[in-house]
Amino acid sequence: MSKLVTIFGGSGFVGRYIARRMAQEGWRVRVAVRRPNEAIFVRSYGAVGQVEPVLCNIRDDASVQAVLQGADAAINCVGILSESGKNTFGLVQSHGAARVAKMAAAEGITNFVQISAIGADPAAKSDYARTKGEGEQAVLAAIPTAVILRPSIVFGPEDEFFNRFASMSRLGPILPVVGAETKFQPVYVDDVAKAAVKAVTGAAAPGIYELGGPDVSSFRDLMGQMLKVINRRRLVLNVPFPIATVMGMGFDLLQKLTLGVIHNGMITRDQVRNLANDNVVAADAKGFDELGIDPVALEAVLPDYLWRFRPSGQYEELKRSGRNLRT
């Protein structure tokens, strides 16, 4: 019988790509999610019964233990960009990761992969980065043979980065960003999935790997590249950190006063803290080279999914060609 892997958050942005690749490797895949009915699409990644969504909440001991039973490996992809209700950074990224790792160890699972993030540090000022770091520590304490993957900003068809700003660019002539000069090293989502597969299948040595694409760019330059792809001219306006902090405080307060009815989907104080730091692979870090993966460049993928934000959508290229025709 083929081996079984449990992927926590396996229907999310990164998790679904890992689930698909694990199925292609011949593994049975158990996708552990809070809402299995909304993750039915993962079944199409493999043969009948090969990939199955199952109910799990990483804040609950019993459900975590249940989905780990019989598994040969486990991958934790669960993470949040902002807090909402009971899904706080501490409960999800610190305590949640610790619970998954401890229970995996109790089941005898030594093959474990934790999806973290560049900048993860238990001493970080940002709650996001701090809890990511605490989660890493907990995982390595429970399973010393674990592999930690720290990607930079991840891009792909379902991303919440380029899709979000491309959508914002349709609202007016100005595109505001916080931390315009902050550096990023965007990494393609399927390259992260390839790294996870290598870790699970034993092709990667235990330890921490930082994953970044072939190019390092400022936030401003990334927006310029995106605008070029969608054929829009916009002024990329930097929002100073002091002003962004006040904005984040206001939006956070509004979410708190409305008991979460109005969710802060704009900018949080914690996100402002994160944007003050470059998000690139450290010079001495292990990465794609050690994994034998040649990362895909940003320009090779962006046009494939951002075309819908062009003024004429899928017909933009046809209209451009038409203007070049001679009568």
What pLDDT sits at residue 315? 66
Q: How far is Cα 112 from Cα 89, in angstroms, rounded to an integer?
A: 21
Structure confidence at residue 320 (pLDDT): 66
Confidence band of 323 (pLDDT split at 50, 70, 90): low
User: How does strand 112-115 pair with strand 73-76?
Assistant: parallel
Domain ranges within the chain, ordered by starting residue:
4-155+185-212+279-296
First to last CA, the chain: 66
pLDDT at position 325 is: 65
Helices 61-68 and 96-106 pack at an angle, to 10 degrees, of 40
* 201: number of Cβ within 10 Å: 15
CATH architecture of the domain formed by 4-155+185-212+279-296: 3-Layer(aba) Sandwich (3.40)
pTM above 0.85, yes or no: yes
- Evaluate if residue 198 carries a pLDDT over 80: yes
109 and 43 Cβ atoms separated by less than 8 Å: no
pLDDT at 125 over 60: yes
Mean pLDDT for the stretch of residues 189-212:
97
Mean pLDDT of 311-320: 72
Count the Cβ atoms, other than its own, within 10 Å of residue 148. 22
pLDDT digit string (tens) for 251-266?
Answer: 999 998 988 888 888 8
pLDDT recorded at residue 40: 97
30 contacts 18 by C-beta, under 8 angstroms: no
Q: What is the pLDDT of residues 56-77, one digit of tens each?
A: 999 999 999 999 999 999 999 9
Within 150-285, where are the H helices?
Answer: 162-168, 189-200, 219-229, 241-257, 269-275
Which CA distances in Å does 127 have to 8, 81, 246, 268?
Answer: 21, 10, 17, 11
**At residue 175, does pLDDT exceed 90?**
yes
- Token pair of 84 as six digits: 């909402």
For residue 92, give both structure tokens: 């999800």
* Pick from 182-186, 208-212, 235-239, 262-266: least confident: 262-266
Q: Does the pLDDT value for residue 327 go beyond 60?
A: no
CB 301 within 8 A of CB 163: no
With cut-offs at 50, 70 and 90, classify the pLDDT of residue 86. confident
Question: Which of 281, 315, 121 lies closest to 213, judged by CA?
Answer: 281
CA dist 51 and 47 (Å) reads 8
pLDDT score of 263 = 87
